[in-house]
A and B are shown apart, each in its own frame.
Chain A
Amino acid sequence: MRVFKFIISLCRTLALIYFLDHRWVIKGNPIPPLGKFMDPFNGFWRNIEPSNAKGPESLTFPHLKENVTVAFDSLLVPHIFANNDLDLYFAQGYITAKYRLWQMEFQTHAAAGRVSEITGAGPNDAILNYDRGQRRLGMVQAAKHSITALSENQESLIMVEKYTEGINAYIQSLTYKTLPFEYKLLDYTPEPWTTLKTALLLKYMAQTLNIGDKDMEMTNALRLFGPEMVDLLYPDREDVGSPIVDNSGGWKFKINIPDSIPLAVPQELIAVKRLSDHDPNIGSNNWAVNGSKTASGSPILCGDPHLNLNLPSLWYAIHLNAPGVNTMGVSLPGSPSIVIGCNDSIAWSLTNAQRDVVDWYKITYQGDSRTKYLLDGQWVDTQKVVEIFNVRDRGSFADTVLYTYWGPVTYDKNYMPDNNHSEYAFRWMSHDPSSEATAFYKINRALTYKDFSDALDHFATPAQNFVYASTSGDIAMRIQGKFPIRRPLEGKFVIDGTRKANGWNAFIPNEQNIQEKNPARGFVSSANQYPVDATYPYYITATSFEAYRNRRINNRLADMNQITPRDMMTLQNDNFNMKAEESLPFLLQQLDSTTLTPEEKRAYQALKEWNYVNDKDSEGASYFEAWGENLGPMLWDEMENTKVTLRRPTAFTTIKLLKEQPTLSFFDFQGTQEKETAREVIRKAFALSVEDIEEWSADHGGASAYWGDYKDSYMQHLARIEPLGIHVRAGGTVNAINAHSKLKGPSWRMVVSLEKTGVKMWGVYPGGQSGNPGSEHYANMMDSWVNGEYFQIQFFHYPEDALKYTFFTTQLNKQN
């Protein structure tokens, strides 16, 4: 009996331990292993760092050739001083992993379509479908191709390999106790880092920036609305003015444009749920002014890339110093070197070039088996790739993807049953081998414009507008990427995939890419707008170009003189909404102020008095944005309520058409007897937007809808774990220079003064240097970022100078 009691008690205890040592999914909600997770000796409590926590004083590694000094300043920015490149990049890998490992690995899993291994398939298989989409876009193949290209440059290959070694040295040092928080929460462990993961990370950035296209949408529009309407609604070049480079008549090279190609306008309308749309909230600003316009007489360079504002922050600030290199700025955790920053001689920043580098080719199969397809008169074998997904809590899932000469057939009958299974192969510039790591390795070491320009020749994708300034007084802009030489209209519609001649057969030579150096106006700038004047000989198309921010920047820079770094900070935080300035007076004229309800009158008054500035305390901004939110879908309802893949014209074109063609057939509501014009739609949208604001107000205890509250900007945790995100009350809007929308915005604001006596940098980003949500450096820069304040980023040449700023130093010693 006693034995029996003992056994029962033992079983009960062991069962309890087993239960608390494992992760469970209860009603779709994963629960971490509660005992393991909550144990204060090893669990999540150990990720709560003490105030003023410092790192270890010294660590020893067999990988190092010589000792490395890493001095951390009060922002926790590491200043790495090494005696050779190998040790430098080993240290960058180790230190970056120490602060950002979970994020680095998660992003590469997201790139490679492996998130469901960590989280499970998700509600309605959403995460598994995301993963499948990533594989079907050929992300992993693209990353493998870039490894091939990387291997051709010994210096940058070694850089990536040493960086990888550094990350792995950190991973090997981990125990459950020291594991980053998210691994404990989601209950998994890191796998070894590889050079492929670094390549995947860069492809993930490329996907954010250049995977957008509108080929299917335009093809449907062509069939439904006809060519004149396509030209009217979706012009390749909107009449905005202010291109990045205006060199009218100055393009002195002769070009050979091949014959135009037949469009493959298909019989059926394409109905697919697109994976790869470009988000108009993703964009960036950069500019440089030369010494004639600044108070110091030295050039000032500024940059603020607008990307997903996630936590942990996208960027990691770091200072890299070794013989032949001394560079400061922000890096992408998972990739070596500095992406945006300065060295002792130059500074640079990037914005996205927007250009279309994606095409879809119609595949003609032999029969239904899809084993062969037509190419140049021959039946060629399709290649079947079986993608395996090790879905957590479910087991493995297989998906067969067909590959063709052009690329993968992304959408087919195996994927997303609602699609109409149009068979198109996906061609993306980022599928081709290229080594951007080499470009950054060289940019970090560039001393002159020639060095910089030579470095850029290695940069193919995602195409960027590179701004440049130097202590020697030069400023420049170069749009760099690998661009196919397009025939007129090529790239705007889907293309017949039965002939190789219809593909990309030639590319714009680097020296013929759009660029300018030291223009007469005294500044260069870019903000994702149309890149060039009308005399540039190559055909340019894109999903969309920016229409407002760029003009605001150029107007302001043209007016400004005796510029100080502080003036530039103010300009980066400018909330002036040029779209409102150009459209609101017209929109208000369409209302009949005598028939408004009391609420509408109040809104009308707020809008009339509004100064077009999207500050956080503005009510007018909320009314304006709510009006726009309602107006777009109502004007273009033909494109909303359909399964056919279509897209709305841009805001700029919409406003132009409202003013110039108010009786355009599209403005008539579908499904009503009456014939509406722009005026009726604008009024209806106004009424609905006032209702939206009233409803918001009622939900918020009757509070006024100030823009900062109404917008409710939110820094999401990378794994969408709600309690780990942060809400902020901030101004800005996508059309303002401070392009801070709800979830996206300036992910790093940088101002660099290129003084001969030493380069000075100021910067801030929404978050902090530590990726650990239990660190006081997780989001310690957030408030400053919201308020438009900057930190001086300490940059110096000799390790002795670090002493002034050092919070603590970690010595990385070689093993004797």
Chain B
Amino acid sequence: MKFLIQFVATLFSAHLLALFMPWYSIAIAAFVMGFLLKSNTDFLAGFAAIATLWLFNALLIDAGSSSDLSERVAKLLTVKYETVLFLVMAVVGGLVGGFAALTGSLLRR
């Protein structure tokens, strides 16, 4: 339950901050929620929240467009397939979210 609350809170606060702050605002959201809502699975909650947030938004943009830019970017970043690009993106966001959440929880301890 605690995990779920932290997950949802991180996801929404990160979304809110992202609307007017640079990309690393995800770390601020995960950090604050890690501090406030500390669970036993802080890293996982932060990771999952940001990975989900990014994945969902990227998929939404991709689905609404006939452009093949995401495929081209996959080739550019030498990950070859669009699916891999989505995964890499989720991991990049997730790692930042996870470590930030962990840091927040460690401050509270």
Within 8 A of B (CB), among A717-753: 721-724
Cβ–Cβ contact B106 & A773, under 8 A: no
B57 at the interface (CB under 8 A from A): yes
**B76 in contact with A776 (CB, 8 Å):** no
B94 CB, nearest partner CB in chain A, Å: 11
**8 Å CB contact of B72 from A40, A45, A773:** A773
Residues of chain B from 55 to 101 with CB closer than 8 A to chain A in the complex: 57-58, 61-62, 64-67, 69-70, 72-73, 75-77, 88-89, 92-93, 95-96, 99-100
Residues of A within 8 A of B26 (CB): 39
Query: Which one of B66, B76, B102, B106 contacts A723 once the chains associate, using CB atoms below 8 Å?
Result: B76
- Contact: B19 with A775, CB < 8 Å? no
Instruction: State in angstroms the CA–CA spacing of A320 and B72 once bound together.
Output: 35
Q: Does A51 contact B (CB under 8 A)?
A: yes
Q: Which residues of A contact B65 (CB under 8 A)?
A: 48-51, 774, 776
Contact A36 B22 (CB under 8 A): yes
User: How far is B98's CA from A598's CA once the two chains are assembled, in angstroms?
Assistant: 67
Q: Which of A2, A35, A42, A43 is close to B109, meaning CB atoms less than 8 Å apart?
A: A2
| Chain B residues touching A, range | 35 or more
- Judge whether A49 and B73 touch: CB under 8 Å: no
Contact assessment for B106 and A6 in the assembled complex, using a CB-CB cutoff below 8 Å? yes
Interchain CB contact under 8 A, B103 and A38: no
Stretch of A10-18, A162-170, A225-233, A237-245 on the interface side: A10-18
Q: List, in ascending order, chain B residues with CB within 8 A of A5's CB.
A: 106
Contact between B100 and A13, CB atoms less than 8 A apart: yes
Chain A interface category by residue count: 35 or more
Query: Which residues of A sit under 8 angstroms from B70, Cβ to Cβ?
Result: 45, 48
For B100, list chain A residues within 8 Å (CB).
13
- In the complex, whether B27 has a CB less than 8 A from a CB of chain A is yes
A181 at the interface (CB under 8 A from B): yes
B23 x A6 contact (CB < 8 A) = no
- Please, which residues of chain B bring their CB within 8 A of the CB of A20? 24, 92, 96
Contact among A12, A35, A48 with B62 in the assembled complex (CB-CB below 8 Å): A48
A47 CB within 8 Å of chain B: yes
Chain A contacts for B99, CB-based, 8 A? 9, 12-13, 16
Interface check A149, CB cutoff 8 A: no
- 3 smallest beta-carbon distances between A and B, as pairs: A39-B23, A723-B75, A40-B57
Given contact pairs A39-B54, A39-B93, A773-B72, enumerate 14 new A-B contacts (beta carbons under 8 Å).
A13-B102, A16-B95, A16-B99, A20-B92, A38-B93, A40-B57, A41-B19, A41-B57, A46-B61, A48-B61, A48-B62, A721-B76, A774-B69, A776-B65
Question: Chain B: residues with CB nearer than 8 A to chain A?
Answer: 18-19, 22-24, 26-27, 31, 54, 57-58, 61-62, 64-67, 69-70, 72-73, 75-77, 88-89, 92-93, 95-96, 99-100, 102-103, 106-107, 109
Q: Name 30 interchain pairs, CB-CB below 8 A, sorted by A.
A: A6-B103, A6-B107, A12-B103, A13-B31, A13-B100, A13-B102, A16-B95, A16-B96, A16-B99, A17-B24, A21-B24, A31-B77, A35-B23, A38-B88, A39-B18, A39-B54, A40-B57, A40-B58, A44-B73, A45-B62, A45-B70, A48-B70, A51-B66, A185-B76, A723-B73, A724-B76, A773-B67, A773-B69, A773-B72, A775-B67
